[in-house]
Structure 1
Amino acid sequence: MSREVRVAVFRPDDERLESAVELLESLGAEPVPDPMLAVEPTGATPESGSDYVILTSKTGVELAAEAGWTPGDATLATIGPATAEVAREVGWTVDVVPEEYTSAGLVETLREAVGGATVEVARSDHGSDVLLDGLREAGAEVNETVLYELVTPPEAGKSVDRAVAGELEAAAFTSSLTVENFLDLAAERGEREAAIAGLNDAVVGVIGDPTRETAESHGIDVDVVPDEATFDALATAVVEAAAPTYHD
């Protein structure tokens, strides 16, 4: 890489953003950290007594554990290995992790098992209906508990300015909500189209098809969707895609 590749990254402003910045720097890129999501706990905990409990994020696990909740005898499922790892760290047994780390992948994994069962889904206020609808179609009785709300931090928006100025070589979106919040901030500045144009001059990477579909529906050209739905895979693929475009 003959010069640094500036990569916008939208992880929440905690250890996830710190590790994302460290990873991008280790790949030779210049991170442009711009947290698009902040967590506001609701104070709720997952309902007890269900046959299955589904936790979809590391944040959900941490909030439930901090409140003293445990899955008890329920079969515990997580959407991906990162969430499963945190659940195991707090002392829980994780029974199900789908091969595809998406709501659709989890539905496919559980489809044959949950007919007639009660399923507790504990997650953010922006969870996909794909999970609830798919489980209900499979014959499960599903309850959803909102553990936390995802809001846009007041300081967010640096990446919008950089995109408008043509100062991004890449952007790494980790969810549909990060895409939507980015565009909302651009619209508030009166620069939505300019921000999209700036992204389309860069390499845009996303985690998973749902995020790709959201981005493309708003006119953003998606260049990278890694096979593995993790930030490490996304960051690596984005930097590899962006780096060859630069020459002295």
Structure 2
Amino acid sequence: MTVAVFRPDDERLRDAVALLDSLGVEPLPDPMLEVEPTGATPREDAAFTVLTSKTGVELAHEQRWAPSGEVVAIGEATAAALEAHGYEVDLLPAEYTSAGLVALLADRAEGATVEVARSDHGSDVLTDGLNDAGAYVHETILYRLVRPAGAGVSAERAAAGDLTAALFTSSLTVRHFLEAAEERGIREAALAGLNDAVVGCIGPPTRETAEALGVEVDVVPEEADFEALARAVVAGLAG
């Protein structure tokens, strides 16, 4: 059973491959995201600063970011990265999504400055929701996410009918998969092969993007976490 995974080519991909190996399936690593830092630094005077990824934390730390207000992490992985770099995490949402962050901050942030420090592909759900709650929202783009040169081996395997499952961890990984297939002239065949496989998406926003692009989604875990996604998809294969 061949399971495609699209995480960036760093420890996240290595950990994903090791996890899939331990679950008894054959990982097909095909990184669909590459980080291009912008060199920007988050504001330091905001009442709340929201970080949405481990990568964002690392880049902020490299820029010697020193916040004066409360620090908010989107989930446990981001919180762990913040703490590992010496930052105190003040708030964590019950649901590790943009909507969860809005629910967490809506009653706290009215009239306050909220800094959102993230990639160039962050969801409007977060910034729009905070604006609607009466916050003064400032966004800093810490990095851009691009498709690595050569990405797309998974699209070729899907087009050949040789893909058992795929694990999409963001809307952008879905778009980049289909763009890579388009460049190879196999978009329709790759989409058909993907829809014959078991497709897992890490959360509702990724699922919505996939379905809008014609991808049939089979699994969305209760928790927006890669390990939960991988385990749910492999359990589905075994069932």
Taking structure 2 as the reference length, the TM-score comes to: 0.99
Residue in structure 2 matching 1:46, options 39, 42, 49? 42
Query: Match for residue 125 of structure 2?
Result: 130
The SS at the match of 1:241 is: helix
**Partner Cα separation in structure 2 for residue 178 and residue 216 of structure 1:** 13
Query: Match for residue 82 of structure 1?
Result: 77
**Partner Cα separation in structure 2 for residue 233 and residue 6 of structure 1:** 18
Query: Match for residue 3 of structure 2?
Result: 7
**Partner Cα separation in structure 2 for residue 60 and residue 45 of structure 1:** 10
Query: Match for residue 19 of structure 1?
Result: 15
Identity across matched positions, percent: 65
Post-superposition shift, 1:155? 1.9
Aligned pairs (5 A) from 1:38-187: 38-71=34-67, 73-187=68-182
Structure 2: state its 5+ residue gaps.
none
Post-superposition shift, 1:243? 2.7
Query: Match for residue 201 of structure 1?
Result: 196
**Partner Cα separation in structure 1 for residue 150 and residue 97 of structure 2:** 29
The SS at the match of 1:120 is: strand
**Partner Cα separation in structure 1 for residue 71 and residue 43 of structure 2:** 13
Post-superposition shift, 1:137? 0.4
Question: Over aligned residues, Cα RMSD in angstroms?
Answer: 0.7
**Following superposition, which runs of at least 4 residues in structure 1 exceed 3 angstroms of deviation?**
none
The SS at the match of 1:220 is: coil
**Partner Cα separation in structure 1 for residue 7 and residue 141 of structure 2:** 20
Post-superposition shift, 1:70? 2.1
Query: Match for residue 232 of structure 1?
Result: 227
Query: Match for residue 243 of structure 1?
Result: 238
For residues 86-144 of structure 1, give each alpha carbon's deviation from its aligned partner in whole angstroms, at most 9, with x where no partner exists: 10111111111111111011001110000000011000000111100000000000100
Structure 1: state its 5+ residue gaps.
none
Aligned residues: 239
Q: Which has the higher contact order (CA 8 A, sep 6+)?
A: 1
**Partner Cα separation in structure 2 for residue 239 and residue 22 of structure 1:** 14
Post-superposition shift, 1:64? 0.6
Taking structure 1 as the reference length, the TM-score comes to: 0.95
The SS at the match of 2:27 is: strand
Amino acid paired to 2:44: S
1:35 matches 2:31: yes
For residues 11-62 of structure 1, give each alpha carbon's deviation from its aligned partner in whole angstroms, at most 9, with x where no partner exists: 0000000000000000001000000000000000101111000010000000
**Partner Cα separation in structure 1 for residue 109 and residue 185 of structure 2:** 48
